[in-house]
Amino acid sequence: MGLAGFALTVATTIVGVLSLNLMILGAASSGAFIKPVGKKKKEDRQRARSELWDLSQQPLPGFHHKFYQAQDGIDLHYVEGGDTSPTSPLIIFIHGFPDSWFIWHHQLETPSIQQKAHLIAVDMPGYGGSDCFPVASPSAILTSLTNFILAMKEKKTNETCILVTHDWGSVIGFRLASEVGFLFTRCIILNAIHPSLAIENMDRATSSAGKMMQTYIRNPTNLTLLRSAFTSLRPFLTQLKCSYYASIFLLPSPLARQLFKMGDFWFLRICSKLAKVRNEEIYLASSLGPSSSEADGYPSSILTRQNVNSRADGMISYYRDNLAFGKWSKPENIQLISAASETSNGFTGLLEPKPGRFACPVTIVYGARDTAFHRKFCYEGLEDYLYPTKGAGLGNFLVCFPRAGHWPMVASPGRESVDMLIEAAVDGIGGEEMKERVWAVDKDVKFEVEK
């Protein structure tokens, strides 16, 4: 580790410890450490977990629990419903941290979406009812979910496949859209950074600021250079401020787990409030996954994850194991499919595409009230990554929901706008007609980028 790497580690650790202490103070001030968990609350919590995870019941009306048994031995849990006939369009939903398939229940239960498409919401490895990898590396997670998507597509004669993602599911969605985008008709990506674009914006900001500082050292009376250097760094520094909570998950494991352990799931209950979920116990049940009472039929790791340390490790490994930025070593089957797609699209290999550039149309959504992301840092320069639609008229979009936060698909009016974007994608509608549909439910939605 070089000096810069060591300094970054020290800085991250300091910020992480400070952030954890602030979280502990927040939990203590709310009385989370001393409020007893009453009998009724325990019963409500167990009832909610049974409703969502009992394999003998429908998780939602018209939906069924299913398992994808992977060759690598990591089985994925998903729920399936809607029009499951081979000829219907396919929509695959991937949740984020600290959620499960249930975070999409509004979209899954929307009649107009149910009637038009085959709906599948999968639990990411280590979440909900899915098995987990020892390390959440890009090769493990991206390969697992890509093979899952390929398996779901094999059920269909209709080639339409729409990927809808949120948070860490969207980090994965960005990578899938750029590295195996040929699998999708469109990706609808909610509230996340595009890893390649984030790296580019960070490098641009630090490089520009560094050059200005070098010049300032030679001209120490020129304070304008100092201001310009800070201005260049401001979007990056603002994003670091927005992402402060992630530093907690990079601390040594005993400390990183504390958010999940303290104050009767205080952190998850805060997430429930931020997401504006009406039933806190249902949200807890969806995040905690099956209890030991429902574990029969699930992968064996579900019993291991009854231990809060194991459950926390499975979730926070997405932060710790370089899933966003690490190299994806694709297995042979995915390499062959990718090569076949490139050949059919006329790619000769003489000109490599820009790393991270999308290989399918995308609709990227963010909530203006999402405190986890800084708009300028996350999306400045996005146009260079967009897929050329070749006159199809459907286009790529960056969409802002002015009154939405980090979970726009949960509460109104963001929820209805997400529904409209999904319906438009199923119907193959873009441009002005798609905008009119969205504006019909929220006239303040802004289409900031269209290409």
Q: What pLDDT digit, counting tens, does each position of 208-252 carry?
A: 888 888 887 888 888 788 888 888 889 988 998 999 999 999 999
- Give CA–CA dist 176/170, Å, rounded: 9
212 in the same domain as 179: no
Q: pTM for the whole thing?
A: 0.95
- Asked which of 209, 242, 275 is the last residue of a domain, the reply is 242
The dihedral built from the CA positions of residue 155, 158, 159 and 164, taken in this order, carries a sign that is negative
pLDDT category of residue 70 using cuts at 50, 70 and 90: confident
Mean pLDDT (whole number) for 399-418: 96
Among 209, 227, 242, the domain boundary falls at 242
Residue keyed to tokens 């429908």: 58
* Closest by Cα among 217, 151, 140, 210 to 175: 140
Do residue 172 and residue 230 come from a single domain? no
236 and 375 share one domain: no
Instruction: Report the alpha-carbon angle 402-404-410, nearest 5.
Output: 150
Looking at the structure, tell me whether residues 343 and 227 fall in a common domain. Answer: no
Q: Is the dihedral of CA 312, 316, 320, 323 positive or negative?
A: positive
The residue ranking higher by pLDDT, 102 or 233, is 102
In a domain, 179, yes or no: yes
- Contact of 243 with 8, CB cutoff 8 Å: no
- The answer as to whether 124 is a domain residue is yes
- 139 and 81 inside one domain: yes
Which residues pair with residue 54 across a beta bridge?
none
Q: Look at the chain and report how many structural domains it folds into.
A: 2
Question: 410 with 396, same domain?
Answer: yes
In a domain? residue 29: no
Q: Both 340 and 426 in a single domain?
A: yes
Asked whether residue 265 is domain-assigned, the answer is no
Residue 393 has pLDDT above 60, yes or no: no
Q: What is the pLDDT of residue 10?
A: 85
Q: Does any domain span residue 301? A: no
The mean predicted confidence, pLDDT, of the chain is 92
Same domain? 208 vs 105: no
- Shared-domain flag, residues 146 and 221: no
Q: Is the pLDDT reported for residue 35 higher than 90? A: no
Instruction: Report residue 190 as tokens.
Output: 């909610």
54 assigned to some structural domain: no
- Clarify whether residues 414 and 349 are in a common domain: yes
Indicate whether 30 pLDDT > 60.
yes
pLDDT digits (tens, 9 = 90+) for 108-156: 999 999 999 999 999 999 999 999 999 999 999 999 999 999 999 999 9
Q: What is the CATH number of the domain that holds 446?
A: 3.40.50.1820
The residue-averaged pLDDT of 368-373 equals 94
Structural domain contains residue 254: no
Kindly report each contact of residues 349-356 with a partner whose C-beta sits within 8 Å and lies 24 or more positions away, as own/partner. Answer: 354/384, 354/385, 355/178, 355/196, 356/174, 356/178, 356/194, 356/195, 356/196, 356/197, 356/200, 356/385
Does residue 161 surpass a pLDDT of 60? yes
- Reported as a single tens digit per residue, the pLDDT across 289-340 is 999 999 999 999 999 999 989 999 999 999 999 999 999 999 999 999 988 8
Q: What percent of the chain has pLDDT over 90?
A: 78
What is the band of 39 on the pLDDT scale with cuts at 50, 70, 90?
confident
Angle between the N-to-C axes of helices 280-288 and 266-275, in degrees from 0 to 180, rounded to the nearest 10: 120
The β-bridge partners of 210 are none
In a domain, 333, yes or no: yes
Separation between Cα atoms, residue 24 and residue 99, nearest integer Å: 22
For the cut 60, the answer to whether the pLDDT of residue 73 exceeds it is: yes
Residue 97's domain comprises: 68-195+325-450
Residues 440 and 337 in one domain: yes
* Whether 210 and 167 share a structural domain: no
- pLDDT computed for residue 278 by the predictor: 87
